[in-house]
Structure 1
Amino acid sequence: MKIKHIAFAAFLSAACLPVAQAQKSNLTKASKDRTASSALTLDKKVEDLLSKMTLEEKVGQMAQITLDVVGKGENRFTSYEPLELDKSELKKALVDYKIGSVLNTANNRALTPQKWYSIISQIQNVALKDTRLGIPVIYGVDEIHGATYTAGATMFPQQINQAASRNRELVKRGAAITAYETRASSIPWNFSPVLDLAPDPRFSRQFESFGEDPYLAAELGVQMIDGYEGDNNDIGHAEHVASCMKHFLGYQVPTTGKDRTPTTLSETELREYHLPSFKAAVDAGSHTIMISSGIINGVPVHSNHDILTKLLKEELGFKGLVVTDWGDIEYLHTRDKIAATHKEAIMLAINAGIDMSMVPYQYETFCNGLVELVKEGKVKEERINDAVRRILRVKYALNLFEKPTTNPKDYPKFGSKEFEQASYQMAAESITLLKNQNDVLPLKKNVKVLVTGPNANTMRTLNGAWTYSWQGEKVDEFTEKYNTILEAVQKEIGERNVTYVPGVSYKMDGKYYEESADQMDKAIAAAKNVDAVILCLGENTSTETPGNLSDLYLSALQTELAQKLIATGKPVILVLNEGRPRIISRIEPDVKAVVQIYQPGNFGGDALADVLFGDVNPSGKLPYNYPRYPNALVPYIHKPSAEQQTVAGVYNYEADYNPQYEFGHGLSYTTFQYSKLTLSKSEIGKNEQLTVSVDVKNTGTREGKETVQVFTSDLYASGISPDMRRLRRFEKISLKPGESKTVTFTLSPEDLAYISRDGKKTIEAGDFEVKINDQKQKFTLLD
């Protein structure tokens, strides 16, 4: 059986192909006609409404406030519990200031679908009935791995897990379920997916991304958008939401490795590595985009006309809504110091191309300031009209004028077993077996184990940040029915076979979490009475600035615990539960197995137990390079000079390119043999395609899933040193013991292009190499 990259062609016989193509052509034409007609109708509605709006009403549409601003409370930053809306504050915001959007939850806490429906219905009633034009509010929330701010919703593994799964179908399915449960919460706008390229393991938000490869991020980002918006981007459908690509552009590569700090990027780097995932998402029809909080080459992105207007809106042709990140227009004045006043900051951002400001508290300053700027001629009203057109298009596309809310009673599958199974499946396929010395895994079910480590008995670290609350600190309040790693192992092999001592624990010290080793000696003593140790290490949950760190090594106490357990002579299985790869080179040589689970969600404990004891054969692949040392953070996409041949006695071999584990690495309990890598031609022209096929055979005794990954290398390039290798295609297959499949891919010269020093895409003749696993073949691209 051959697997074709162009799916529709793989299943049609030659006899029926012309008929099928004709039918497809007719359907495509009809679909395009309907889309064009719908667009004309939508545009007419937008222009009719825009023509009736005052300047103040237009500016109000461009402001977005956080929910606490209109909740009853002592101030705008917190609300009383239980949450109630303050009618006078709601009227001031929506009627007096004509605010067009609300985001976030109150008190940083998840609400039930019924509570969401009640709150958003009240907001929409004011917007529709008490304002002059009755324009509905668009409500947005960060639902980045499930409906993260809804109690009882299905929490999926974080995006980094989804990248590790390499399973397009599961990514799309998870996004569709998230859209369903977000709409069940009466919320139509989701600030997801994260499309940032994330090659820096120091960065606190790497777990929110698809990792460090542009092609992987583009492929899975499109799947997520299709899941959120539907295949035809019909976001007015009651089970779809408007997606929001973020964070445009170059957000996760600051020079310091810390959140919202400056970076330096060449035009080549920006276009070669950071732009492809966003371009793919724009082409996929994503309706909205959120802007990076960073500074590139000294210019805050929120004030960069070249990036926001020339690149995004003109070159990429993005017609949707451009929204800021949290308070970022204000930061142009208070943090970035490029605007002497808040008003000047507003002028810079709106003129650069921002359509909506996530204020989120002091909306009066934004609204009054922007109205004054237009009247003073410092912001043209046509720029305001363009922004409001974009906002209204999304509101009409979401069908908010006809159906401003969605009732949870109409969503019977919310939190269902069917949805939970999809979350479990993603967790299971994302778990990545990095080391398995002497086949110590899977463990036998009659084994006696010690489960230890600070991540062994907490749901918080399984889920990560953006789970029921911003930093994930409220997770345990909502997750009693799910299994921690400890509980899952106990269910798997029986409580009598499991000893639990945390050894090291996370403790709250004032505002910060510290580690305590008050039970380390007890854990070491317990290890002497078991057959194996399941050591659950990593980090506590965090994101954004609270997640900044200065030492990428695994913490000192966790390292000490590991070293003392290793010294007992019992086999140690290291389970890594972390949002970014914490360096483990001080202990890795002496542990028998390493299992990376990332942040796998509410069913991560169950999935891990099934992997450890052989019910599931692991199939995850690393979506990033796992570094060996803190001063060796070389990503998998790098130049040949990073792999210089060293000379014994002159150079330090350890200082060469030396990741602990490389991008794409991931073991299985079975073995796969690759053979017969075949190219359709040894030479291709610039208008020709290259067919690449390889045979993959399961040579072990267990059924397993394998991701076939196609890499190419440009052996020589002009002017710019070529990357050592690039991922061009991947396909996940399943093979029974002894089964073989021929997997076929199609490459084009476009796949071999690179961005030259002038910022332009260059397809250059020369020699290339294709590599799939241990198979290599060369070919030549002709002039």
Structure 2
Amino acid sequence: MALLLALLAFLLVAGDGQMLYKDSRQSIEARIKDLLRRMTLEEKIGQMTQIERAVASQAVVRQYGIGDVLNGGGSAPAERAAPNVWEDMVDDYQIGAMSTRLGIPVIYGVDAVHGHNNVYGATIYPHNIGLGSSRDPELVRRIGAATALEVRATGMPYAFAPCIAVCRDPRWGRCYESYGEDTQLVRSMTKIIQGLQGSPPPSHPSGYPYVGGPSKVVACAKHFVGDGGTVKGIDENNTVTTYRQLVQVHMAPYLDAIAMGVSTIMISYSSFNGIKMHANRFLVTEVLKNRLGFQGFLISDWEAIDRITDPPKQNYTYSVLTSVNAGIDMIMVPFDYQNFINILTGLVKSGAVSQSRIDDAVTRILRVKFAAGLFEAPKANRKLNNKVGAEDHRELAREAVRKSLVLLKNSARSGSSKNILPLSKTAPKILVAGTHADDLGLQCGGWTITWQGGSGQTTIGTTIRQAIANTVSQSTQVVYEQSPDANFVKDKGFSYAVVVIGEQPYAEIAGDNLNLTIPSQGIDTIRNVCSSLRCVVVLISGRPLVLEPHIDMMDALVAAWLPGSEGQGVADVLFGDHDFVGKSSRTWFKRVDQLPMNVGDMGYDPLFPYGFGMTMRQQ
């Protein structure tokens, strides 16, 4: 009897083609064709709409047929929400989606840009600028795979990563999201996509989205294109260059991403020669879709279509019309979704946006959802809960910290006969100083728990001070003073000092900086400590900063970038358990007035050139 019922169910689902899209044995393209023909215009436009979790609910998803939900930086179902709380939330949206007429699942997206960084207790890896300094694509692939597991462990199938911008000016507030200033370096690091999504087989068609199973996520290459080349590094500004240079410098990493089967691409806020990328039909449709053969979906950035006009949203109908006709498939609204849906519906009915353009967008969205297996398994896999902040992931992050550190100076100043590094573990008394020495939030930087990041114990991890205390002998006295004055340092019997200073956290436009100086408190600490003691300075920053006036005061200088939650990796190298292997992913300038300055430029005159990095064996 059970066999007869199963056969009857199969005949009803697939035999006459009535519900072909629900049959996982059919090809993805056949399923898309079947589902698309069943959809109303309202259902199609719902699929093109991405909304923020703060305005999403089971009822909203059901009523509007919403295709995508996301959380912005710092938006969470509860403070320090556990993985199961995130899963409950995402599953609630899926219940709403599955109860619609056609049962099309939502795809929940999150900015997992250096680990699953919105979730308390997740492993936080070094930001991309540090990973670029590792020169280790296989390491980056492994980080992608571990990140995918943690994202999936909270019920989310979609990560807005990686950023494959080529940052050509460190004044840009997103520079730390870039792997480096050299296109070939960034291209090599696109291997993270294989970690996030899995590696497609050789027979997989180029440009077709690929997601290799329930432990992988839909990845998103961003931000197309030229976002790292804006004038003076100003975020969302204009990239002024030739089309040839745009392709060679900024577009080249996308060729690799598309060849790896990246499922989605996010469009940049920036402009190319005065034309907003969200309005640039030539680059978005003709180049990316037609010439490069990308078959996944294109997603806008947060409220980015609003900014097609200046001031933003001055003519929202024009913004919707222009962005959709440019070729963007999924619109990150994220709050004013009813207005967006109404406007786009009216534009289609009036003929201003063609039905074929809508069908192209929805076809691409469905293609990714089918490739990701969401129709078969829309809800969270609760067996993955223990992957958030898993010990093997933290060990991987610790390894990444070790490999990303760049040794810029190691000398025998102050009359000593040998270089200060590696540090002695058995010194009687050492000083640890600086604003960033015992502050996990500062160590992680922006895009950590909240959008801009923060200070203090923002998540779970090990600070550099804690790591030093874990590493030295039990007989060594470790004295920590955040901002010591000169009198505190003198004649206290310290063998040496570790000074950890740097930038405050920031993200995007808030991080744009035209002077790039070390904050004054850090400079004061260097002067007060290093004038009396042998010292190693560890710089925590999302980019090179002005060093030339201060570097002679230091015995050693380490660029630690933004190392993330596992500060133990810094101590591993400072005390000689591992040597430095990092090679700078950026040119260290002498003065800000040299910028922009990148390797290969005429008149290239750096303080430390691109690719510079010493080992402790070098004298």
Report how far residue 527 of structure 1 moved: 7.3
Contact 2:225 2:268 in 1 (8 A): yes
Which position in structure 1 is the counterpart of 2:408?
A: 434
Match status 1:660 vs 2:618: no
**Alignment map for 1:275-674 (pairs within 5 Å):** 275-335=251-311, 341-410=315-384, 412-438=386-412, 439-447=419-427, 448-473=429-454, 476-479=457-460, 482-493=461-472, 494=474, 496-503=476-483, 519-521=484-486, 523=488, 525=489, 529-568=493-532, 570-603=533-566, 605-639=567-601, 642-643=602-603, 657-671=604-618
Instruction: State TM-score, norm by structure 2.
Output: 0.89
| Local SS of the residue matching 1:601 | coil
Q: Report deviation, 1:460.
A: 0.9
Deviation at 1:466, TM superposition (A): 1.5
Change (3 A) 1:234 1:324: closer
Matches within 5 A, 1:84-233: 90-91=58-59, 93-104=60-71, 108-109=75-76, 111-129=81-99, 131-221=100-190, 223-232=191-200
- Deviation readout 1:524-554 (Å, 9 max, x if unpaired): x357531222111110111112212232121
How far apart, CA to CA, are the structure 2 residues paired with 1:107 and 1:623? 29
Counterpart CA distance in 2 for 1:366 and 1:42 is: 29
Q: CA deviation at 1:284?
A: 1.2
SS in 1 for 2:84: helix
CA shift, 1:308, in A, is 0.3
Amino acid at match of 1:544: E
- Please say if residues 146 and 156 of structure 1, whose CA atoms lie closer than 8 Å, have aligned partners that are also in contact: yes
CA gap of 1:624–1:361, structure 2 versus 1, over 3 A, is same
SS at match of 1:631: helix
Change (3 A) 1:595 1:160: same
Match status 1:49 vs 2:25? no
Distance change >3 Å, CA 527–CA 499, structure 1 → 2? farther
**Counterparts of 1:633 and 1:40 in 2: how far apart (Å)?**
55
Could you give the per-residue CA deviations for residues 119-140 of structure 1, whole angstroms, max 9, x where no partner exists?
Answer: 11111001101x1111110100
How much has 1:96 moved relative to structure 2? 2.7
Contact 1:290–1:324 under 8 Å retained in 2: yes
After TM superposition, give the deviation of residue 421 of structure 1 in Å: 1.2
Amino acid corresponding to residue 547 of structure 2 in structure 1 = I
Larger Rg: 1
Does the C-alpha gap of structure 1 residues 478 and 566 become closer, same or farther in structure 2, counting only changes over 3 Å? closer
Higher relative contact order (CA 8 A, sep 6+): 2
Q: Which residue of 2 aligns with 1:692?
A: none
Q: 50, 67, 89: which one pairs with 2:53? A: 67
Distance (whole Å) between structure 2 residues aligned to residue 105 and residue 585 of structure 1 = 38
2:498 match: secondary structure: strand
* Matches of 2:611 and 2:244, distance apart in 1: 25
User: Which one has a larger percent strand, Structure 1 or Structure 2?
Assistant: 1
Q: 4+ runs of 1 displaced by more than 6 Å?
A: none
Deviates more, 1:529-538 or 1:50-59: 529-538
* d(CA) in 2 for partners of 1:307, 1:359: 22
Name the CA distance, whole Å, in 2 between partners of 1:292 and 1:220.
20
Structure 2, unmatched stretches of 5+, are: 1-23, 201-208, 413-418
Secondary structure (helix, strand or coil) at the match of 1:117 reads helix
Query: How far apart in 2 are the matches of 1:319 and 1:140?
Result: 19
Query: CA RMSD of the aligned region, Å?
Result: 2.1
Cα gap change, 1:475/1:241 in structure 2, threshold over 3 Å: closer, same or farther?
farther
How far apart are 1:108 and its partner, in Å? 2.9
Number of aligned positions between the proteins = 578
Residue 95 of structure 1, CA deviation:
2.8
DSSP-derived class of the 1:597 partner: strand
Residue identity over aligned pairs, in percent, reads 34
Alignment of structure 1 residues 255-294 onto 2, 5 Å: 255-294=231-270
- Distance, in Å, in 2 between the alignment partners of 1:69 and 1:414 is 26
CA distance in 2 between counterparts of 1:349 and 1:150 reads 32
Equivalent residue runs for 1:681-692 within 5 Å = none
Q: Which residue does the alignment assign to 2:203? A: none
Give the secondary-structure state (helix, strand or coil) at the position aligned to 1:573.
strand
Question: What SS does the aligned partner of 2:87 have?
Answer: helix
| 1:638–1:428 CA distance, 2 compared to 1 (3 A) | same
